């Protein structure tokens, strides 16, 4: 039955299940208490949770879809040791499997797809105990464009029938919409969400010019986009290099499926083909609808755009 479901939809359904498993790895590493922190660069850390969650996601997706290009944030070893068998998730989310695939994506083949994996977005926050900011991101791009994505929150708590359930998984597919949460309209006043742990003078300048009523400083590109989708913030502004393609692919796809828009600070779309440069050099500007995105873009002064473009 599932072989009649178009590949993009099947891959999204598998990604939802795999992200859930990766989220459990993220929680298990934290509860064991041995984070195994490695410093990759300035303000740039990796933990055992980043490493193991990525191995799980890549192994599980590659086993089922061997011709995909999968690009993950963390370096891969030359000869990756086998992963535990229970990481090789084969389940696929039933609600997603039932989605209607956009007409132009129905014939897409594995070779046409690039999957961008951020096994743990918000690592700084993870190591500092801001666990609700942490997400697992799986973005699916076709012809350089993010068309579908998963944002999993390992530490989101819900009560179901008096029992606490940990974790939730938000997904989006172009033209089909979003699921896994209840979208909410933007707040009445301009509330900006931005970085908590990677600010600098350019980032602060772009915040000043927005004239916002409030600025929320939180971790992770995934969590900031969730704040937009849930009506906690209006615009996500980050006028700095630092984010990479795996940070924005899934959030951009989910946001776009909900009617929003994510670009760089100049208003240009990033491209997500296998050979693109990984850094998002010209920052991030995102909003839950196109009007708010236009408004925010109109507030960014030309010299700030040039400062980023010439970096």
Query: Which residues contribute to the site for ligand A3P (CB under 6 A)?
Result: 43-44, 73, 118, 121-123, 195-198, 219-221, 238, 242-243, 247
93 binds, among ligand A3P, Mg ion, none (CB under 5 to 8 A by kind): none
Reply yes or no on whether 263 is catalytic: no
Name the pairing type of β-strands 261-263 and 235-238: unpaired
What is the residue-wise DSSP string for 202-271? HHHHHHHTTT-SEEEE-S-HHHHHHHHHTTS-SEEEE-SS--BHHHHHHHHHHHHHTT-EEE-TTSPPP-
Question: Which candidate, 262, 208, 259, 266, places its Cα nearest to that of 235?
Answer: 262
- In angstroms, give the least distance from the CB of 66 to ligand A3P: 26
- In angstroms, give the least distance from the CB of 271 to ligand A3P: 18
237 binds, among Mg ion, ligand A3P, none (CB under 5 to 8 A by kind): none
Q: Which residue is nearest to ligand A3P (CB)?
A: 242
- Stretch in the footprint of Mg ion (CB under 5 A) among 70-78, 141-149, 166-174, 181-189: 70-78
> Of 93, 118, 121, 123, which one is the catalytic site residue?
123
Q: Which is nearer to ligand A3P, 102 or 242 (CB)?
A: 242
Question: Which candidate, 182, 178, 292, places its Cα nearest to that of 234?
Answer: 292
281 binds, among ligand A3P, Mg ion, none (CB under 5 to 8 A by kind): none
Reply yes or no on whether 50 is catalytic: yes
Q: Which is nearer to ligand A3P, 44 or 91 (CB)?
A: 44
Q: Which is nearer to Mg ion, 12 or 120 (CB)?
A: 120
Residues 230 to 259: which contact Mg ion by CB under 5 A?
A: 247
> Of 50, 118, 121, 247, which one is the catalytic site residue?
50
Q: Is 73 in the site for Mg ion (CB under 5 A)?
A: yes
| Cα 47 from Cα 54, distance rounded (Å) | 11
CB-CB contact of 238 with 203 (8 Å): yes
- In angstroms, give the least distance from the CB of 252 to ligand A3P: 13
**Helix (H) or strand (E) run with residue 72 in it:** strand 69-72
- In angstroms, give the least distance from the CB of 221 to ligand A3P: 5
Q: Where do we find the tokens 């400083």?
A: 217
Q: Please list the residues that pair with 148 across neighbouring strands.
A: 140, 173
Q: Tokens at residue 244, please?
A: 């990479």
In eight-state DSSP terms, residue 133 is: G
- In angstroms, give the least distance from the CB of 286 to ligand A3P: 11
What is the residue-wise DSSP string for 83-115? PPGGGS-----HHHHTSPPPGGGTT--GGGEEE
43 binds, among ligand A3P, Mg ion, none (CB under 5 to 8 A by kind): ligand A3P
> Where on the chain is the footprint of Mg ion (CB under 5 A)?
73, 118, 120-121, 123, 247
Q: Which residues are catalytic?
A: 50, 123
């Amino acid at each position: 039955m599932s072989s009649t479901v178009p590949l993009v939809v099947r891959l999204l359904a598998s990604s939802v299940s795999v992200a859930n498993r990766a989220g459990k790895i993220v929680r298990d590493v934290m509860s064991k208490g041995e984070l195994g922190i490695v410093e990759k660069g300035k303000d740039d850390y990796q933990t055992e949770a980043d490493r193991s969650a990525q191995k799980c996601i890549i192994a599980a997706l590659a086993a089922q879809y061997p011709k995909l290009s999968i690009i993950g944030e963390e370096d891969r070893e030359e000869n990756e040791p086998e992963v535990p068998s229970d990481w090789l998730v084969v389940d696929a989310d039933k609600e997603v499997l039932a989605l209607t695939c956009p007409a132009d994506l129905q014939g897409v083949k594995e070779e046409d797809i690039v999957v961008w994996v951020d096994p743990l977005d918000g690592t700084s926050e993870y190591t500092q105990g801001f666990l609700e900011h942490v997400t697992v991101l799986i973005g699916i791009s076709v012809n350089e464009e993010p068309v579908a994505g998963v944002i999993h929150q390992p530490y989101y708590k819900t009560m179901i029938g008096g029992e606490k359930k940990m974790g939730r998984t938000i997904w989006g597919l172009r033209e089909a919409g979003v699921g896994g949460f209840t979208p909410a309209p933007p707040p009445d006043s301009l509330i900006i969400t931005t970085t908590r742990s990677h600010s600098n003078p350019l980032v602060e300048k772009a915040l000043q010019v927005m004239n916002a009523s409030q600025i929320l400083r939180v971790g992770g590109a995934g969590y900031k986009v969730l704040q937009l989708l849930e009506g906690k913030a209006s615009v996500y502004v980050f006028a700095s290099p630092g984010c990479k393609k795996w940070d924005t692919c899934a959030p951009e796809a989910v946001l776009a499926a909900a009617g929003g828009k994510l670009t760089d600070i100049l208003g240009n779309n990033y491209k997500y083909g296998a050979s693109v440069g990984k850094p998002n050099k010209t920052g991030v500007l995102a909003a839950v609808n196109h009007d708010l995105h236009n408004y925010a873009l109109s507030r960014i002064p030309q010299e700030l755009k040039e400062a980023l473009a010439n970096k």
